[in-house]
Homo-oligomer: A and B are copies of this chain.
Amino acid sequence: MRLSRSFLPTLKENPTEAQITSHRLMLRAGLIRQTAAGIYAWLPAGLRVLRNIANIVRHEQDAIGAQEMLMPTIQSADLWKRSGRYDAYGPEMLRIRDRHERDMLFGPTNEEMITDLFGQVVKSYKELPQVLYHIQWKFRDEVRPRFGVMRGREFYMKDAYSFDMDYASAVDTYRRMMLAYLRTFQRLGVRAIPMLADTGPIGGELSHEFLILAPTGESGVFFDSALEEQDWLAEDVDITDRQSLEKFFTRMTSFYAATDEKHDEAAWAQVPAGRRREGRGIEVGHIFHFGRKYTESMDIAISGPDGAPLYPEMGSYGIGVSRLVAAIIEASHDENGIIWPESVAPFKAAIINLKSGDAVCDGICEKLYAAAPDLLLYDDRSERAGAKFADADLMGHPWQLIVGPRGAKEGKVEIKNRRTGERTEDTVEGALALVLKNHG
């Protein structure tokens, strides 16, 4: 994309309405603009990050056999009356009356709808397990929306739902999802620590939440640093084998990790002193097993092995996709701006032309840009160098390809790594090979 013609407005000043770093940086880097309290438009660069995150989430859900579908945003109140949650949910639910005076709502979650659809489609225990997910906009009418997309009202979320014939099988599914989550966060370039959680209003027996470490996190966290050092992508788990899943899960849960609510001083004392980490965390995912709560309350039974009605065991599994954009920034920035992990960055690199209008500089910049116009942001504006550097740092591209008259004469490009600040020099081909190395 050429910056001179793009809808990527950076701001030099800190917007006064933003109280936390990620909100400030998302506004300043031109990722979002507020359109109503707690509701945001995603500008082109912001949408790219959102989509990169969603694609990684999707890939890891698919890898454990979850099937993607898409449920609507507007739901009938009748569905929620069947489960008994319509009255219980409170004012966070955006209640709507349509032109025929029917009670509707903007879905904050989809347990009722998926359970109803499951009941229409699945007839026998032989079709289990089923894991279904969607990535869809949801709405929670927060009384005080704040911190940008961190606590917005309209938010983008992946929610998965599982149906198993018995508890043991549901536990297998839960463990597969745990592995998928650990891999998802690792691929996103952040560490999210899984913590044993209370099951809260959804109810249930087995639950973990995933927290990204950041000083602005809403919860205090205590964990064994060994958790940060695991390579879940390399973890050898046969997801079709119960023992293999159990072995993985036992090892993973053997490392101490707890939020302040669940913190246990006696267990904490058992963690080797050098591995004790304390900090704050932002919740970006939550997985629950809740058994037959919805299948029973909504009377969704299928045919069991003995022919008798069987109420499947369920779980639900959320990842806050739009919230992750903010959480990753909270965890990965410096005083100059965002530092995007390569996997989610809106652009792999900025091309910074230090002398726009100079034939040699322009030629090298165009050559770089032509190699991957969709992955590179060419700063072709007639701004001074300082402004271009500042914007590139602010927007957080993993690399900067700096083209000035001196190097250009020799066909050389200066390459800056945003995270380390390290600078090297290379040919056009060498520079492109480096910044596009993770791209086919």
Contact = CB atoms under 8 A, between A and B. Distances in A.
Interface of A: 1, 4-7, 9, 30, 33, 35-37, 39-44, 46-47, 50, 62, 65, 67-76, 79, 91-92, 94, 96, 98-99, 102, 104, 106, 113, 116-117, 120-122, 127, 130, 132, 137, 139, 141, 143, 153-154, 374
Contact of A117 (B6, B35, B50, B68): B35
Contacts of A92: 99
Given A44-B69, A47-B68, A68-B47, A7 B121 contact: yes
A121 B44 CA distance: 12
Contacts of A40: 72
Contacts of A9: 120-121
Given A37-B102, A43-B69, 10 more contacts: A9-B121, A33-B117, A33-B121, A35-B76, A35-B79, A39-B75, A41-B117, A42-B70, A50-B70, A74-B154
Contacts of A116: 35
Nearest to A39: B72
Contacts of A67: 1, 6-7, 44
Contacts of A106: 73-74, 96, 106
Contact of A74 (B36, B121, B122): B36
A78 to B, nearest CB: 8
26 contacts: A1-B67, A7-B122, A7-B130, A9-B120, A30-B121, A33-B120, A35-B71, A35-B72, A35-B75, A35-B79, A35-B117, A36-B75, A36-B76, A37-B102, A39-B72, A39-B74, A41-B70, A41-B72, A43-B121, A46-B70, A47-B70, A50-B70, A73-B106, A74-B106, A98-B141, A99-B141
Contacts of A130: 5, 7
Contacts of A30: 121
A62 B1 CA distance: 10
A69 B41 contact: yes
A279 B106 CA distance: 40
Contacts of A42: 69-71
4 nearest A-B residue pairs (beta carbon): A36-B76, A42-B70, A9-B121, A41-B71
A68 B8 CA distance: 11
Nearest to A137: B73
A2 to B, nearest CB: 9
Nearest to A90: B99
B94 A94 contact: no
B35 A139 contact: no
A45 to B, nearest CB: 9
Contacts of A33: 117, 120-121
A243 to B, nearest CB: 22
A410 to B, nearest CB: 32
A39 B1 CA distance: 37
A229 to B, nearest CB: 33
A139 B7 contact: no
A36 B104 contact: yes
A47 B69 contact: yes
